[in-house]
Amino acid sequence: MSNLKDQQGFDRRDALKMLGLGTTAGILGLIGTPMSAEAKEEEKAKNTYAKGMAPVTITKVRAIGTAPNGSNLVIVKVETSEPGLYGVGCATFTQRAEVVVTAINEYLDPFCKGRDVDNIEDMWQAAYVSSYWRNGPDLNNALSGLNEAMWDIKGKRANMPVYALLGGKARFAVDTYAHADGKDIAQVIDQVKKFQADGFRHVRIQLGGYGATMLAKNPDFKDAKFGKPTDQFIDPRAYVQAIPKLFNEVRKACGTDLELLHDTHERIQPMDIINMCKRLEEYDPFFIEDPLSPENRSWWKQLRASTTVPFAMGELFNNPNEFVQEMADHSFDFIRCHVSQIGGITPAMKVAHLGELFNVRSAWHAPGDCSPIGHAAHCHIDLNIWNFGIQESVFFTEKEKAVFPGCPELKNGYLFVNEAPGLGTDIDEKEAAKYPISNRAGNWTIRKRDGTIVRP
């Protein structure tokens, strides 16, 4: 009995000590006194992780189509249960715009309604596999717009630019390259000098577009009335001979400090690109873009072993898993993915961080048929990631600025975001409605002399 009393006394003394350190409700529970309802709520409140804001859910996902400069642009707008709070993202697939609009309005909208807008990762994973087969370009563009819109909302809720949510700035602005093209070398040189005067440090040089189609003469397939009259013609030999001459003349006219880039657009055979790049080595290109088509990925090992020219790749990649092995093998030097095609900011950040581990830098694809919202998404990623390489520049027209208030600004060859919460670029739906989209697919049909289709 004495030992029991001593033990009970010891327990009570311990309880009194704990009372000074812990909660009254916890001690009362220890010595057998039942908790009141009020005490339970107090204990729960003290032990529950404090949430900064109440949950916000998605109420509507819809597509907005507009074409202020002629190219179809598709925007995703995500509306929420919080009055006035919405996000926008780029889902542009110019050649199949109406398919993407349908995917957004008829599939993503019911799929997303009622979901917590904060759960960006969960939403991406769920939407990506919900169609069972992994997404093709149509659904991937729709998912990209949804993902960017959710990041836009996240930034607005936090009252921070998206780059700050990603980890803050790693540089003061986004360095870009300009595009110089012409029907002959003299015209290209004139454009390059203009861009130099405007402050650009990097210029991509092309001769008559991708593959120098203007150099091609006497397309026999047209004489035979094969294909359509609007189909383009490429002469691979004329192209391969012309590009080293172009680099030589631009270097002589514009100096060695300027970084020069070039895009082959995957339009010539692997051995032709190897031979051309070996001749380009002496001109020290910053990179040669898209040297191999997706069908010729097995040539990477031989291509890399044959030349020291840096490469940018990934514009046609549809899934982040497509280039994991090439990154690990150091096959190319720059990630050339289209952020609004591979699924948005979430997978782009994963790709960028993977590239950092293998010393592969970013060079996101940003053509004229990417919306200003998509360009803003690129800039926020570029400002944050350590392994940023270069960004494709964009010159927004007055029509675009009216439709998309808050466009990034280009100064001295650098892109600057406007520092507003979220992505910082919005859409004026009344202005957008002035420029409806069409089902015009565009002309990307290119043939050899005998009419064989050239990929891509």
Q: Which residues are the active-site residues?
A: 210, 265
For 273, which DSSP code? Answer: H
Cα–Cα distance measured from residue 116 to residue 134, given in angstroms and rounded to the nearest whole number: 23
Cα–Cα distance measured from residue 417 to residue 410, given in angstroms and rounded to the nearest whole number: 9
DSSP 3-state of 436: coil
Cα dihedral 103, 109, 111, 115 sign: positive
Cα–Cα distance measured from residue 272 to residue 292, given in angstroms and rounded to the nearest whole number: 11
Residue 162: CB atoms within 10 A of its CB come to: 26
Closest CA to 390 of 415, 412, 362: 362
**DSSP codes of every residue in 276-336:** HHHHHGGG--SEEE--S-GGGGGGHHHHHHH----EEE-TT--SGGGGHHHHHTT--SEE-
CA angle 80, 83, 87 (to 5 degrees): 45
Helix boundaries (H) for 171-299: 185-197, 220-223, 236-254, 270-280
Closest CA to 312 of 394, 216, 202, 237: 202
Task: Identify whether the C-beta of residue 188 lies closer than 8 Å to the C-beta of residue 182.
Answer: yes
Structure tokens at 332: 């190319």
Burial class (CB in 10 A: 0-12, 13-18, 19+), 48: exposed
Task: Identify whether the C-beta of residue 109 lies closer than 8 Å to the C-beta of residue 60.
Answer: yes
Cα–Cα distance measured from residue 92 to residue 119, given in angstroms and rounded to the nearest whole number: 23
Angle between helices 345-357 and 120-129 (to 10 degrees): 100
Cα–Cα distance measured from residue 363 to residue 333, given in angstroms and rounded to the nearest whole number: 10
Cα dihedral 177, 399, 98, 378 sign: positive
Half-sphere exposure of 391 (CA within 13 A, CB side): 27
DSSP 3-state of 116: strand
Biggest CA-to-CA distance, the chain:
115
